[in-house]
Structure 1
Amino acid sequence: MAEEQKYAISKWHDTAKIYDRLHALIQVPPMTIRRDKMKEYLDYFDTKCTKSRALTDEAKNYIPGGVQHNLAFNYPFPIAIQKATGAFIWDVDGNQYIDFLQAGGPTVLGSNYAPVREKVAEVINESGPVTGLFSEYELKLAKLVNRLVPSVEMLRMFGSGTESVMAAIRAARTHTRKRKIIKVGGAYHGWSDSMVYGLHIPGTGRFESKGIPMGATGNTEEVFPNDLAGLRRLLIRNRLRGGTAAVIVEPVGPESGTRPVYKDYNQKVRELCDEFGALLIFDEVVTGFRLGMGCAQGYFGVKPDLTVFGKCITGGYPMAGGLGGRRDVMMHLSAGIGGTGEHAYVGGTLTANPLSCAAGYFALTEMERTNAPVIAGRAGDRLTKGLQEIVERRKLPFVAYNQGSIVHLETAGVMLLDFRHPLQLAKELKPRNHMMQEMGAAYMSQGIITLAGSRMYTSMADTDEIIDDALRRFDVILGSVEGT
């Protein structure tokens, strides 16, 4: 198979040019939607989403904030979903949307893909969703992932990406006998105590660490995105402060490439980790099997020591997480008494249940058979090219780019702010964040679901016709921005 057929990205974008445009975006005042048009968009929710509003209003009496998942906090209120199939999703009021959220990224095949659903149903009918004992699908999935991602010599399943990151850190510290963990500022690696540090916006440190003791993040450090010199300085300093156990990165950049990396960045990080005796952890919760069946590490040609998986490893089905990597490191997580060397305790009563492992096995098998990541990537290319044309034609400062099927449309630039410019951050964080919320509401009123109004995940189900329909809707919204 030719290289361009293996991965969703045929050519890495010009990162320098993207940053030039992103920096230009945050130098101009936010270009919001005209107030008369925004009222029209918000009227949609009042008139067309009455059942959703009633449900989520009632839910606030029983659920903090009214919803259980952070992705569901939509402005002006959460939408209650009833049905999802392929490229579309329907709410309880019967409204249909083009689904560019795709559960946060794992459903590369499209939502509720029938061939996988039918196989999972067979497993549930036979054994039920969980037994607490070993099933052959644990082995089938581990062997399949090992074949697709050679760095994963061994695989251990967990309940979420958050748990998988926790296990990765514990294994790294046990193996290296070192303490410090370095992450890239702005990256999201789950909500465990030690990782709620430098979230979303670089330089914020413990800003969002409410309820977390100081000691829990005492060995977590952040470095600014793409700052290899800063990473080297931290690694040198840590030689006298307990050593660096691991460096953890999102391989396309923080927040799924919202701050994109330069093409050689991961290789340079790999070299620094080798020089200083630290493990390299790739967080492939989003990029795993989305950039290609070999994941982001296959595309970049960089072999991490440990790889974190999330929902992608079960095709979006529940109890979705996993950690894979070098045999000598992974053996620290051996269940029972079969481990070698020091044992790092991990657990989870529902991990590797038959439902999750079967779903993962059949989903990855179908993705490989259909070449789903590449098809989804082509849809991402088409969507990005169309968005760029709209932005240019309407003379807007907005920035559209993609990493295969991960598509970014930056209109507010809120996640490009950082603590190196504290006055700008303090002044513009709230208004730019509200603008991003308004853009998300506007998209939804026109039948498009996005992640936080700035990110989209395409799937194999996104045909040219669906993408072109979405672009017509985006054009309507972007044509209602002040000054167009």
Structure 2
Amino acid sequence: MTQRTELSEALFERASQYIPGGVNSPVRAFRSVGLTPRYIEHGKGAHIYDVDGNEYIDYISSWGPLLLGHAYPPILEAIERELHRGTSYGACNAREVEMAELICTQFFPSVERVRMVNSGTEATMSAVRLARGFTGRDKILKFEGCYHGHADSFLISAGSGLATFGQTSSAGVTARTAEDTLVAQYNDLESVRAVLEAHRGEVAAVILEPIMGNMGLIPPQPGFLQGLRQLTEEEGILLIFDEVISGFRAARGGAQELYGIRPDLTCLGKIIGGGLPVGAFGGRADIMDRLAPLGNVYQAGTLSGNPLALAAGITMLRELAAPDFYERLEAQGLAFEARIRPILEHYSDRLSYNRVGSLSTIFFRPGGVRSNAEARESDTETYARYFRGMIARGIYLPPSQYECIFLSMAHSAEDFDRTASAMDEVLREVLG
């Protein structure tokens, strides 16, 4: 269990002199788990290796996109082929057309038109602007604990990194922005109804993670998404599904396929870049056609539709389009759950476990987790001790209670056995 960390510590010290907090994304700082971040040198399959030579079974998968594992050969080959042609043109390229066709015809029937962007944050930000332009209304409704990236409107009662650091908002968000952002409770339809009744005719869009993934994994309760669809249709409000996490992971067509809901707009990211930076938003043709150059809602990006990212993403989606892929992915999720479930049940008075497809979370809270409020009751100090014990045994988990475990097709039965063995040891230590 003894690991060398000298090189990671030295890199973090250097980074802290020039990068705020030493990191380019807050959750990487490892502050909530009381460690110095590990600096990763390379990855292969389901394993990553840090600069000190430590090997880990990786359950982050770059926060979702590496469904096929690290350094998947066909994706590397696709990037290399495209790289020799050029890296960026600031002009149209054929990869944009291929990606749009795949998303609209192979995966998401609700997406009749799609526009590429460079991140999930750009996708959600642009979708909200489009909803406001389409409806002529100013306000949006989001859900406490749902995280949609770091645009100002989304940092009101957000999850993910903000939840990790115990913050409910961010400095720099104006009072007017806060006034235009309404908040309801996930899995509580009555809270939505109350907010909409208090602001009748003012709300442009309701945006949510249909499967909450940024307060840990919390599935929708029966009838919640269906009721939300009905309420938004009655009020002429656009329903936006942020499927940056659940898209391509919960099912072939994301949460909307799994639960039989057709949103007006959908936001995607991560997986459609095969590990390279990318995002997209799309939906009904009459809404999307309000975007410039056809309409009066402006959105642009020099690197949108970047050929390198799309070459990787197209290769990824073609693999995911195999007829049996999602049966095999669900089998992975079932195998992982079957291996760890008996261990977790031994501590049912201290733990809960949620899983949908290849996404899951172990909550250090008993009795199940169905809401943001219940997730926040988790024992984060004990989770930090658990994380430290697991990483010392070569198991790389999210450095926050409020994030998901991401499985890949590269994980093996041996990986699951090793993980379960480590989990059994560590939970005996931290829970007794």
TM-score (norm. length: structure 1): 0.82
- Give the 3 Å change call, closer, same or farther, for CA 67–257 of structure 1 in structure 2: closer
**Structure 2 residue 162 is matched with structure 1 residue 213:** no
1:25 maps to: none
Q: Which moved more, 1:365-374 or 1:85-94?
A: 365-374
1:93 alignment partner in structure 2: 52
Give the Cα separation in 1 of the matches to 2:152 and 2:5.
37
Give the one of 7, 26, 29 matched to 1:73. 29
**2:117 paired with 1:158:** yes
2: CA distance, partners of 1:347 / 1:272: 32
Q: Deviations over 1:433-468 (max 9, x none)?
A: 333333222211111111135431101111222212
Work out which of the residue numbers 162, 170, 190 in structure 1 matches 2:129.
170
SS in 1 for 2:241: strand
Map of 1:48-197 to 2, 5 A cutoff?
48-74=4-30, 75-126=34-85, 128-147=86-105, 148-197=107-156
Encode CA deviations 1:68-101: one digit per residue, 9 max, x unaligned: 1233222311100001111110001111100100
Cα deviation digits, residues 191-246 of structure 1 (max 9, x gap): 101110111289x998322121111222101111211111111111111xx51111
Deviation per residue, 1:348-393 (Å, 9 max, x gap):
2111111122221111001222744443332222222332211223
Deviation at 1:417, TM superposition (A): 11
Partner of residue 397 from structure 1, selected from 331, 347, 350: 350
Measured after TM superposition, the shift of residue 469 of structure 1 is 1.8
Gaps of 5+ in 2: none
Alignment match, 1:380: 333
Contact map agreement 1:266 1:302 (CA 8 A) in 2: yes
Q: Structure 1's 257 and 329: CA in aligned 2 closer, same or farther, altered over 3 A?
A: farther
User: Tell me, what secondary structure is at the counterpart of 2:84?
Assistant: helix
C-alpha change, 1:348 and 1:153, in structure 2 (3 Å) is same
The separation in 1 between residues aligned to 2:153 and 2:55, in whole angstroms, is 40
Aligned to 1:18: none
- Structure 1, 130-139 or 366-375: larger mean CA deviation: 366-375
C-alpha displacement at 1:309, in angstroms? 0.7
Distance 2:87 2:245 in 1: 25
Does residue 464 of structure 1 match 2:420? no
**For the residues of structure 1 that align with 2:350 and 2:380, how far apart are their CA atoms?**
17
CA contact 1:86–1:112 (8 Å) conserved in 2: yes
Looking at structure 1, the residues matched to 46 and 373 of structure 2 have their Cα atoms a distance apart, in angstroms, of 40
Q: Which moved more, 1:438-447 or 1:185-194?
A: 438-447
Q: Displacement of 1:133 after TM fit?
A: 0.5
Letter in structure 2 aligned against 1:386? R
1:309 and 2:262 are equivalent in the alignment: no
SS in 1 for 2:225: helix
Distance 2:124 2:265 in 1: 10
Question: Aligned pair count?
Answer: 422
SS in 2 for 1:350: coil
**Does the aligned pair in 1 maintain the 2:146–2:209 contact within 8 Å?**
yes
Q: Following the alignment from structure 2 to structure 1, what is the Cα–Cα distance between the partners of residues 109 and 198?
A: 33
In the alignment, the residues of structure 2 paired with residue 281 and residue 347 of structure 1 have an alpha-carbon distance, to the nearest angstrom, of 20
Whether contact under 8 Å (1:399, 1:410) holds in the other structure is yes
* 1:271-310 superposed Cα distances (whole Å, 9 cap, x missing partner): 1110111000000000111122211111111110000011
Q: C-alpha offsets along residues 319-361 of structure 1, whole Å, 9 cap, x if unaligned?
A: x111010111111223x3xx04xx1111221111111222211
Work out which of the residue numbers 222, 237, 241 in structure 2 matches 1:263: 222
- Spell out, residue by residue over 1:35-81, the C-alpha distance to the aligned partner (whole angstroms, 9 max, x if none): xxxxxx7xx4xx51111111111110111111112332223111000
Counterpart for residue 286 of structure 1: 245
TM-score of the superposition, structure 2-length normalised?
A: 0.91
Classify the secondary structure of the residue corresponding to 1:375: helix
Against the structure 1 CA distance between its residues 71 and 117, is the aligned structure 2 distance closer, same or farther, given a 3 Å change threshold?
farther
Which of 280, 288, 300 is equivalent to 1:322? 280
Inter-CA distance 90–468: structure 2 relative to 1 (3 Å threshold): same
Deviations 1:234-281 (A, max 9, x none): 111111xx5111111111135276333113221111111101110000
Name the SS for the 2:257 alignment partner. helix
* Contact 1:441–1:453 (CA under 8 A) maintained in structure 2: no
Q: Distance in 2 between matches of 1:275 and 1:107?
A: 39
Q: Which amino acid in structure 2 is aligned with residue 354 of structure 1?
A: P
Report the secondary structure of 1:307's partner residue: strand
Q: Deviations over 1:102-144 (max 9, x none)?
A: 0001111112211111012101111x22111100000000001
Q: State how far apart, in whole Å, the 2-side matches of 1:404 and 1:218 are.
A: 36
- Cα distance in structure 1, aligned partners of 2:20 and 2:256: 38
- The structure-2 alpha-carbon separation of the partners of 1:394 and 1:436, relative to structure 1 and needing over 3 Å to count, comes to closer
Larger mean CA deviation between 295-304 and 378-387 belongs to 378-387
**Does 2:377 correspond to 1:448?**
no
- Which of residues 379, 385, 391 is equivalent to 1:438? 385
Q: Does 1:235 align with 2:196?
A: yes
Distance 1:440 1:420 in 2: 22
For the 8 Å contact 2:133–2:297, the answer to whether it is kept is: yes
Q: Matched residues in 1 for 2:63 and 2:192: separation?
A: 29
In 1, the alpha carbon distance for the partners of 2:348 and 2:144 equals 32
Write out aligned runs for 1:401-420 (5 A). Answer: 401-411=354-364
The reply to whether residue 480 of structure 1 matches residue 429 of structure 2 is yes
| Aligned residues of 1:156 and 1:322 also touching (Cα < 8 A) | yes
**How far apart in 2 are the matches of 1:256 and 1:308?**
19
Contact 2:219 2:370 in 1 (8 A): no
CA distance in 2 between counterparts of 1:96 and 1:474 reads 17
